[in-house]
């Protein structure tokens, strides 16, 4: 009886996970992956109607990196860097030139740059609850030469994480963004595109 109950729970858990779409990750070139111990997170571009979501996603991304033991460049240091060069953030996020990235790498002692884009945010109704749906793109750039190391795209609904009954559902935008970023980071780590060889 106990075995039957356990197998039912496992089956339900597994079936809940099967429906999740995979992460679309591109690794455009065979760029040698450097040590990305110190990473700069740029403000996320935001195509949604919620004005401060780009800022929110940037902060969540920083905390996820910190949770994984990465060293994250202080966001105010990035702001000062741009201010000193009289450069708009969009010049760095949308059309960042090789020279600008190299200057940032040199001045802030960083090797990796993460830039992201909130492509869409919406809500859906599921079992009487309002559940967020987020589509997000995340890119890792080699700050030294401006080359794209990897790019990932992921769309998730809070309902994708439902395990059994109402358990597992993600009901806040913040948590869903965090979850998506975490999944992408895990994907990058498993593919070996991000590494940090800390000197002893």
Partner 1 sequence: MRSVALSFILFSLISIILLPRQASAYRIALLPAQDLTASRSGLDIALTDQISEALLQQGFEVIPRQQIIDFLVANSIRRGGEIDSLTARRMSIQLGCEGILLTTITEKSIQRQPKIGMTIILLEGDSGEQIWGTTICDHINDSQPMLGIGRLETAQQIKQHSLRMMAEQLSETIVDLPELPPALPDYRITDIDLKPTLVRQGNPVFCRVKIKFLNDGPDYLEVETSAGSTILRKSRIAHYYEGAVATNPRDGIHPIRLKIHWSDGHSELVDNLINYQVANTPPPIKMHVATGLNIEETYAFSESVVIIPQMVEKRPLDRWKLVIKDREGKTILTEGKNASLPERLEWRGTDAYNQRLETGRYTMIMQVWDIAGNENRVATKFYLQPASQQMINISQVVIEGENYLKLLPAENQLVPVEQWSLQLETPDGNSVYNKTGWELPSLVPIPQDLPVDRLICSVQSLDRLGNNVEIKTAEINLTPSHDQVAQRPRMQTEWTADF
Pick the closest to residue 139 from 122, 121, 154 (CA basis).
154
Stretch that binds partner 1, among 17-25, 66-74, 87-95, 134-142 (CB under 8 A): 66-74
44 and 117 in contact (C-beta within 8 Å)? yes
How many Cα atoms within 13 Å fall on the side-chain side of residue 170? 18
Stretch that binds partner 1, among 1-9, 23-31, 63-71, 134-142 (CB under 8 A): 63-71
Instruction: Indicate which single residue of 120, 172, 186, 195 sits in contact with partner 1 (rule: CB under 8 A).
Output: 172
Contacting partner 1 within 37-56 (CB under 8 A): 38, 52, 55-56
91 contacts partner 1 (rule: CB under 8 A): no
How many other CB atoms are found less than 10 A from the CB of residue 56? 16
Q: Could you tell me the smallest distance in angstroms from the CB atom of residue 47 to partner 1?
A: 18
Between 105 and 144, how does the x/- string for binding to partner 1 read (CB under 8 A)? ---xx-------------------xx--------------
How many other CB atoms are found less than 10 A from the CB of residue 64? 22
- The Cα–Cα gap between 141 and 152 comes to 12
How many other CB atoms are found less than 10 A from the CB of residue 190? 10
Q: Could you tell me the smallest distance in angstroms from the CB atom of residue 110 to partner 1?
A: 9
Please report the DSSP string for 36-68 in residue order: --EEEEPPPEE-SS-TTHHHHHHHHHHHHHHHT
- The first and second tokens of residue 125, run together, are 């109704």
Q: Could you tell me the smallest distance in angstroms from the CB atom of residue 28 to partner 1?
A: 29
76 contacts partner 1 (rule: CB under 8 A): yes
Binding region for partner 1 (CB under 8 A): 38, 52, 55-56, 59-60, 62-67, 71-77, 79-80, 83-84, 108-109, 129-130, 166-167, 169, 171-175, 178
């Amino acid at each position: 009886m106990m075995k039957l109950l356990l197998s039912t729970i496992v089956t339900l858990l597994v079936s809940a996970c099967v429906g999740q779409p995979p992460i679309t990750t591109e690794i455009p070139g065979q760029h040698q992956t450097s040590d990305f111990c110190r990473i700069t997170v740029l403000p996320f571009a935001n195509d949604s109607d919620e004005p401060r979501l780009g800022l929110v996603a940037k902060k969540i991304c920083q905390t996820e990196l910190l949770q994984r033991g990465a060293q994250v460049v202080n966001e105010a240091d990035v702001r000062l860097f741009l201010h000193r060069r009289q450069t708009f953030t969009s010049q760095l996020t949308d059309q960042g030139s090789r020279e600008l990235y190299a200057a940032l790498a040199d001045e802030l002692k960083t090797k990796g740059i993460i830039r992201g884009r909130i492509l869409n945010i919406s809500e859906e109704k599921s079992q009487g609850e309002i559940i967020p749906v987020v589509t997000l793109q995340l890119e890792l750039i080699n700050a030294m030469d401006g080359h794209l190391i990897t790019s990932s795209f992921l769309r998730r609904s809070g309902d994708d994480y439902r395990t059994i009954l109402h358990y597992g559902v993600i009901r806040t935008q913040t948590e869903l963004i965090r979850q998506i970023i975490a999944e992408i980071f895990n994907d990058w780590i498993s593919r070996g595109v991000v590494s940090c060889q800390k000197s002893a």
